[in-house]
Structures are given as C-alpha cells and as structure tokens.
Amino acid sequence: GESVGLHLPTLSVQEGDNSIINCAYSNSASDYFIWYKQESGKGPQFIIDIRSNMDKRQGQRVTVLLNKTVKHLSLQIAATQPGDSAVYFCAENNYGQNFVFGPGTRLSVLP
Amino acid sequence: GAGVSQSPSNKVTEKGKDVELRCDPISGHTALYWYRQSLGQGLEFLIYFQGNSAPDKSGLPSDRFSAERTGGSVSTLTIQRTQQEDSAVYLCASRLETGSQETQYFGPGTRLLVL
C-alpha cells in the first residue's frame, strides 16, 4: 500500500507483483513527459518517455500511460524486482522549455 | 561520448565561503540544466542554458547564486557566501537541444555540505 514517508510518498510491493506509480502534472500545454528512476546517491536515470500525441507507450517491463483529460501520468512496472527499488520522478516539458518535476514516489520492493 | 560529469563529487565548506561547482555535459549537447535536490526532496530547477546564454534564470534562489557557460560546453555554478540552507545535492543535466522532444541526461551530482 501507500504511505507518506518523511518527505516522499512510498509504495511498497511484493517482489514479482506489478507496480503502478502515479503522477499528476500541472500544465495542460505540456507536450512531452518522462519518467526517471533515482537510486540512492545517484543522479536520475531515464526510464521511458511519451509524447502528448500518444496515450500509451511500452518499454521493457515498463509501460507509461498518459491521460491528458485529467492531466495524469502513470508508470507500470511488471514483475517488480528488488533492483527496481528507488525513487521515481515524473517530469513534464512544454515545447522544449524547462522540465518540471513531480515530487517523487519511493518504491520499496519487499522480498 | 561519455555521460555528464560533475566535480567535485562532494564538497564540505564553512558558512560564508564561496563554492564553485562544475558540470561537463555530453559532447554536442547544446542545452544544459542545473537543479538542486535537498535530502528526500524532488528536483528544484535553478537555471538552464541554450548554448552560452541562459534564457531562464528564474529558479536561482538568491543573488548569491550565479552560473555561466563558456564555449557551449562546461558550466560552473557559483554560490557566494554559502549558508547552511544551501546544503543539498546539485545536479546538472544536458540535452541535445531545447525545442526538441528529447530527454535530458543527468550527472551524478555534487553533494554540498555547508557547516
């Protein structure tokens, strides 16, 4: 389930289960969205992106869904593994200008 | 070429001192971004460069913060008269160019601790 940690919301899932991380973005004019994974002590790492003319995009074990009507973005991770434990950030971009990041969600994979 | 690199990786300084943080972007990337990340927090935008110019400086928290980029490559972020609240991880990212739907690539960050 979800709980609010010190600063970040935390999602705890059992190893092997699917994870869904949600993000609400702010700018209806944003045309490009990215999910990043940040492990402890490292910079954010690109996972998957999606353009505003799409509503779904799949990668390896990851799927991003975009609902422009309600300005919602989600990241689905299939068969979650211990190595997936990290903080996940969504980011939105508006016509090439600055990126705006969401607050992040900490994913904790339980053995 | 290689990824984004930042130096130093860690910096401990005394309150009131100036610090300079360096970012080497991916070769050929024209856009460069600076962010600040406090412990357990998200990314706070500071400034971005397109080439050597900075169209958006809106994120710089005070006039103690400045950044420059020369030769369309290396960038330095300078914090003058550091304060304890400046303690954070400073992340740099580069991108092929602005105006494109391309991701940015992050460096490992500089961990700044102001005593």
Strand pairing class (B5-7; B88-95): unpaired
Contact present, A98 and A34 (Cβ < 8 Å): no
Q: How do residues B15-63 score in pLDDT, each as one tens digit? A: 999 999 999 999 989 889 999 998 877 889 899 998 899 888 888 999 9
Which candidate from A34, A100, A102 shows the least CB-CB separation from B103? A34
Which chain B residues are Cβ-neighbours of A102 within 8 angstroms?
42
3-state secondary structure of B86: helix
The predicted model gives B95-100 an average pLDDT of 71
Residue B105 pLDDT > 50: yes
pLDDT at A7: 60
Residue A3 pLDDT > 60: no
- Model confidence at A6, pLDDT cuts 50, 70, 90, reads very low
The predicted model gives B92-111 an average pLDDT of 84
Q: How do residues A23-57 score in pLDDT, each as one tens digit? A: 999 888 898 999 999 998 899 999 999 999 999 99
Which chain B residues are Cβ-neighbours of A45 within 8 angstroms?
106
- Model confidence at B100, pLDDT cuts 50, 70, 90, reads low
Contact present, B23 and B38 (Cβ < 8 Å): no
pLDDT at B58: 82
Which chain A residues are Cβ-neighbours of B45 within 8 angstroms?
98-101
User: Greater confidence, A95 or B67?
Assistant: B67
pLDDT at A4: 34
**Distance in angstroms (rounded) separating the CA atoms of residues A72 and A69:** 8
Contact present, A9 and A105 (Cβ < 8 Å): yes
pLDDT at B99: 61
pLDDT at B103: 82
pLDDT at B98: 62
A4 touches chain B (CB under 8 A): no
Contacts of A17 (CB under 8 A, 6+ apart): A79, A80
**Distance in angstroms (rounded) separating the CA atoms of residues B29 and B48:** 12
Q: How do residues A71-98 score in pLDDT, each as one tens digit? A: 999 999 999 999 999 999 999 987 656 7
**Distance in angstroms (rounded) separating the CA atoms of residues A13 and A35:** 19
B101 touches chain A (CB under 8 A): yes
Mean predicted lDDT score pLDDT of chain B = 91
- Model confidence at A2, pLDDT cuts 50, 70, 90, reads very low
pLDDT at A1: 36
